């Protein structure tokens, strides 16, 4: 298939490019080729490229900055996917788009923490608590309203060995400091960009092999949660990062002492949900894919060639 792939400099876009380029004709669109903050130019660009499928991992992901730079976040996260969906509908092609746990307010089950936190299913009502979440939710709605052939994958707490993310920040801090204070009252599934890309690759293979593409889309179109399984807090994630990095010789000094703190001790411009757990049963059943748990995905990620390994 001819695939138009956005966000190729990002965590997920880079992982997708790695996996898909060997199997399909991938048109890798970076910001220079397709600036998503200028949605008016998108439909024309898609008409020129004429892909069979658009995959859109690009997004305005600076959650705190989106509180003030809301117009750009809205253009990239809502208007750009809307334009892609419009083109997809007109050209009768498919659109795979990614969204976020931040479409929820995160209050699910927080009144009964002793029974363990339930996970959000795809049908649960959205109620974003920050501008980033609102713009991503608007993007989902625009795609759904366009009635184009689409898959929307909601993910959470994405990391890789590439770009800016919590894993790389914690690895750096663990090598610099003796004591780290980390939020221990927000919960979710750390998710490796590689896992999201691998599941997407399998689903794209199923689409490519389908003799009747329109029937395939009719059967599978919709919204799916796609995260690594299990859940933890940011503190739990950091504990695992430090342990696993230590085992692989990625720490150049003794492991730091880790201290769990409430989110109220670490104020940020954007509010974050307490419960970010997403239930992944729907995607696993629909496409017969299995998704690694977050600890195994972290190990797999750290086993890749790491920038710190040679220093």
Q: How far is the CB of 81 from ligand NAP (least distance, A)?
A: 9
Residues that bind ligand NAP (CB under 6 A): 7, 9-13, 31, 34-37, 57-61, 76, 98, 100-101, 136, 155-158, 163, 193
Asked if residues 78 and 103 have their Cβ atoms less than 8 Å apart, the reply is no
Does 132 qualify as catalytic in the annotation?
A: yes
Neighbour tally for 205: CB within 10 Å: 15
Give me the residue label for tokens 């940011």.
234
Tell me the C-alpha distance between 233 and 183, whole Å.
7
Neighbour tally for 111: CB within 10 Å: 6
Q: Which of 60, 132, 137, 224 is catalytic?
A: 132
Q: How far is the CB of 85 from ligand NAP (least distance, A)?
A: 14
Q: How far is the CB of 252 from ligand NAP (least distance, A)?
A: 26
To which H or E segment does residue 144 belong?
A: helix 131-146
Give the CA count within 13 Å in the CB-facing half-sphere of 154.
31
When the beta carbons of 11 and 295 are compared against ligand NAP, the nearer one is: 11
When the beta carbons of 273 and 292 are compared against ligand NAP, the nearer one is: 273
DSSP string for residues in 247-295: HTT--SSSPPEEEEE-GGGS--SS---SB--B--HHHHHHHT----BHH
When the beta carbons of 252 and 304 are compared against ligand NAP, the nearer one is: 304
When the beta carbons of 37 and 70 are compared against ligand NAP, the nearer one is: 37
Q: How far is the CB of 274 from ligand NAP (least distance, A)?
A: 16
Q: What are the CA-CA distances from residue 137 to residues 38, 89, 130 (Å)?
A: 19, 20, 11
Catalytic residue list: 132
């Amino acid at each position: 298939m001819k695939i138009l792939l956005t966000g190729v400099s990002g965590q997920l876009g880079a992982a997708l490019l790695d996996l898909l380029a060997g199997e399909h004709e991938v048109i890798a669109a970076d910001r220079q080729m397709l600036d998503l903050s200028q949605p008016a130019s998108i439909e024309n660009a898609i008409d020129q490229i004429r892909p069979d499928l658009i995959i859109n991992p690009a997004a305005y992901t600076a959650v705190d900055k989106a509180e003030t730079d809301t117009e750009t976040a809205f253009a990239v996260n809502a208007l750009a996917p809307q334009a892609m969906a419009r083109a997809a509908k007109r050209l009768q092609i498919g659109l795979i788009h990614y969204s976020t746990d931040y479409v929820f307010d995160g209050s699910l089950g927080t009144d009964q923490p002793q029974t363990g936190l339930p996970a959000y299913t795809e049908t649960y009502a959205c109620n974003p608590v920050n501008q980033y979440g609102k713009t991503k939710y608007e993007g989902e709605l625009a795609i759904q309203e366009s009635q184009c052939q689409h898959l929307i994958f909601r993910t959470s707490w994405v990391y890789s060995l590439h770009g800016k993310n919590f894993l790389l920040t914690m690895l750096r801090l663990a090598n610099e400091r003796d004591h780290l204070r980390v939020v221990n009252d927000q919960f979710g599934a750390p998710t490796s960009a590689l896992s999201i890309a691998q599941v997407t690759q399998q689903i794209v293979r199923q689409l490519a092999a389908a003799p009747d593409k329109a029937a395939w889309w009719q059967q599978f179109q919709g919204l799916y949660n796609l995260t690594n399984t299990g859940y933890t807090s940011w503190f739990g994630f950091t504990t695992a990062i430090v342990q696993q990095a230590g085992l692989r010789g990625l720490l150049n000094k003794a492991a730091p002492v880790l201290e769990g703190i409430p989110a109220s001790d670490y104020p940020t411009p954007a509010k974050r949900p307490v419960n970010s757990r997403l239930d992944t049963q729907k995607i696993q059943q629909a496409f017969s894919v299995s998704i690694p748990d977050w600890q195994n995905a972290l190990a797999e990620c750290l086993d890749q060639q790491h920038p710190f390994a040679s220093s």
